[in-house]
Structure 1
Amino acid sequence: MTDTASSPSLVSSPAPQREERIGFLLVFLSALMWSFGGTIARFISVDDSWTVVFWRSVWAAAFLLCFMVWRDGWRGTLKLFRDMGLPGLAVGFCFATASTAFVVALAYTTVANILLMQAGVPLLAALFAWALFRERVTVSTWLAIAAVIAGVAIMVSESLDGAVSPIGDGLALLIAFMFSIATVITRRFSSVRMTPATCLGTILAAGFAASRASTFTVSAGDMGFLFAFGVVNLGLGLAFFATGARLIPAAIAALLGTFEPILGPIWVWLIHSEVPSGRTIIGGAVVVTALLVHIGLEFKRQTRPQRAGVTGVPSPN
């Protein structure tokens, strides 16, 4: 019989590793849903941005509410809203601000500028998580963040003409700031279910847009695309993100979110026949390579056995 006390034992934690991998998948799926935004928006002919924000938010709120009622029942859904507390209110406010600012910013600045600002989300999330909660950020994560920012900068460099819109670029920066804060809060308060918080965010966005919209009347065709814009792009994306971001570090969740600006041009190319430029392809390749390498390293780290006593797991005696 082996004396386990005399030699270091190898300890594995399959349950947390499984949760982390589920978190990876869900956050990636959220980025996938969000990446359809530009493609869907190209089909919408509504001129008033606030009308688009209103209907997009209404459909997203309806989807999220139906999803929670289907999953938890009416009583369970009401309990989720009551239990989310201040962290949930903060996350709801952040998502309401970010989703509204995204649609409005498109009227003032280029998509390139917005994407460049969003490339800073992983860095902001990592800094906030470290400064506020001392969440450790590995060297490989910092390197991946730097590579992502460089890759997105290459992607949008052809579209940066030097024209600065204070309103548009300010809104783009606000999107990055709010999204990074929501990511950190979701991770920090992982015991709180944040799906009701995202639903609250869409309700807040719809209410604010309703006070600003010039009209609520849209054609049947536009309403169909607004339904997809709200349910698939925003609602389903928020549901995936709120569930997955609580399972993985904030910096990694934000990194996975950068798949959105990479996949977005691909859908526009395939559906609207807009061929991406050479720099877009090169920059996208840099970002995807950095993300895949980093994810591979994380999976390798998870499957590597750890010695007892090193990770805080006591040795049997």
Structure 2
Amino acid sequence: MVLSKARKQSVMLMIGSALLWSIAGALIKLLPWNPFIISGFRSLLAAGVMFLYIRHVGIKIRVNRYSILSCLTLCGLMFSFVAANKLTTAANAIVLEYSAPAFIVVFSALIFKQRFHPADVLAVAGTMFGIALFFLDRLTAGGLLGSCIALFSGVLMALNFIVSARADTDTRMSGILFAHLATAVIGAPVIFFDPPAFSAQSLTAILILGIFQLGVPYVLYGLALKNCPPLACSLIGTLEPLLNPIWVYLFYGEAPGRYALFGGALVLISITGWCVWRDRYVAAHSGI
């Protein structure tokens, strides 16, 4: 199938978004600050980028239950992701977060009474088995806590997706802006209680994290959604968990354990396979 020019541009925007998201682990590892401070200032900078984008495209700020729920889940997700990166390996943090689609299936069945398809069961089972492998590595107490927090971030991401799917564009973007502002308000003041060491490296890292790793990718993602097919967005998004540990290894020298590698591969294969199947299943049953 030949892609139109608009669709090609959207695919490239999604690739750019995933590439920028993937640098989070390396920068967080290199930044010797309290996780709350990192999260707070990263989101403060990202909020500025998001606000400029929202004003430029004319998105209206919406305050309703969906934007508030999106704010709460995304705020918790950003704190938990940074904390997990500090406590466990970047591979554990990003792949366990990427287990979100499996939790979406489970929550959809429990909350909205949607029926499981056998393929859903296989995807969830494969993902959960892959997650279990992460905990077979020889983890320190901190590493175990980090993996648990990373898994919790996957739960929050799933809840955020469920909420966002039921919101319009204005509400969805408002929720993201509110989440960044809430994270900044909660995290940034910690700087007065745990003053960090400032250096050219740390200031550069936080600027890149806030503007280019978090702020700009959300703008690119919002633009990509206009013409990038959902399946393409899902599959291109796997670049983030694949590249994140690579950047950390290259710039920080951290390598995941053997069981984590096997578990991560199983999670990515299960989720990617489920995305491909689901896209074809929906197309076949909707007459597309």
Q: Please, what TM-score do these two structures have when normalized by structure 2? A: 0.73
The 5 Å alignment of 1:92-103 reads: 92-103=71-82
Task: Please state how far the C-alpha of 1:194 moved relative to its aligned partner.
Answer: 1.4
Q: Which residue of structure 1 aligns with residue 3 of structure 2?
A: none
Which residue identity is paired with 1:263? Answer: L
Maintained 8 Å contact 1:186/1:242: no
Q: Label 1:59 to 1:135 Cα distance change in 2 as closer, same or farther (>3 A).
A: farther
2:153 equivalent among 168, 175, 182: 175
Could you say what secondary structure the match of 2:270 adopts? helix
Larger radius of gyration: 1
Q: Which residue of structure 1 aligns with residue 126 of structure 2?
A: 147
Which residue identity is paired with 1:86? Answer: R
1:65 aligns with 2:43: no
Q: Label 1:258 to 1:126 Cα distance change in 2 as closer, same or farther (>3 A).
A: farther
1:37 aligns with 2:17: no
Q: Which residue of structure 2 aligns with residue 158 of structure 1?
A: 137
After TM superposition, the runs of 4+ consecutive aligned structure 1 residues lying more than 6 A away are 21-29, 164-167, 242-249, 252-258
Could you say what secondary structure the match of 1:199 adopts? helix
Partner Cα separation in structure 1 for residue 179 and residue 172 of structure 2: 11
Partner Cα separation in structure 2 for residue 101 and residue 110 of structure 1: 12
1:124 equivalent among 103, 125, 132: 103
Which residue identity is paired with 1:101? Answer: S
Q: Which residue of structure 2 aligns with residue 282 of structure 1?
A: 262
1:188 aligns with 2:166: yes
Q: Which residue of structure 2 aligns with residue 91 of structure 1?
A: 70
Which residue identity is paired with 2:120? Answer: T
Which residue identity is paired with 1:189? Answer: A
Q: Label 1:259 to 1:124 Cα distance change in 2 as closer, same or farther (>3 A).
A: farther
Could you say what secondary structure the match of 1:157 adopts? coil
Q: How many residues align?
A: 281
Partner Cα separation in structure 2 for residue 222 and residue 85 of structure 1: 37
Q: Which residue of structure 1 aligns with residue 183 of structure 2?
A: 205
1:272 aligns with 2:252: yes
Partner Cα separation in structure 2 for residue 33 and residue 159 of structure 1: 31
Task: Please state how far the C-alpha of 1:131 moved relative to its aligned partner.
Answer: 3.3
Give the gaps of 5 or more residues in structure 1: 1-17
Q: Label 1:225 to 1:149 Cα distance change in 2 as closer, same or farther (>3 A).
A: same
Which residue identity is paired with 1:91? Answer: S
Q: Which residue of structure 2 aligns with residue 14 of structure 1?
A: none
Could you say what secondary structure the match of 1:235 adopts? helix
Maintained 8 Å contact 1:193/1:242: no
Could you say what secondary structure the match of 2:190 adopts? coil
Task: Please state how far the C-alpha of 1:182 moved relative to its aligned partner.
Answer: 0.9
Q: Label 1:204 to 1:219 Cα distance change in 2 as closer, same or farther (>3 A).
A: same
The 5 Å alignment of 1:277-316 reads: 277-301=257-281, 311=286
CA offset digits 1:129-174 (Å, max 9, x no partner) = 233334565432332233233334435632435x378976774454
Q: Larger helix proportion, structure 1 or 2?
A: 2
Percent of aligned pairs with the same amino acid: 22
Which residue identity is paired with 2:26? Answer: T
1:110 equivalent among 82, 88, 96: 88
Maintained 8 Å contact 2:25/2:85: no
2:35 equivalent among 36, 42, 49: 49
Partner Cα separation in structure 2 for residue 204 and residue 57 of structure 1: 9
Partner Cα separation in structure 1 for residue 179 and residue 121 of structure 2: 30
Partner Cα separation in structure 2 for residue 38 and residue 241 of structure 1: 19
The 5 Å alignment of 1:68-79 reads: 68-70=54-56, 72=57, 76-77=58-59
Stretch deviating more after TM superposition (203-212 or 115-124): 115-124
Task: Please state how far the C-alpha of 1:66 moved relative to its aligned partner.
Answer: 2.0
Stretch deviating more after TM superposition (198-207 or 175-184): 175-184
Which residue identity is paired with 1:270? Answer: L
Task: Please state how far the C-alpha of 1:206 moved relative to its aligned partner.
Answer: 0.5
Give the gaps of 5 or more residues in structure 2: 1-5
Partner Cα separation in structure 2 for residue 167 and residue 275 of structure 1: 18
Partner Cα separation in structure 1 for residue 237 and residue 116 of structure 2: 17
Q: Please, what TM-score do these two structures have when normalized by structure 1? A: 0.68
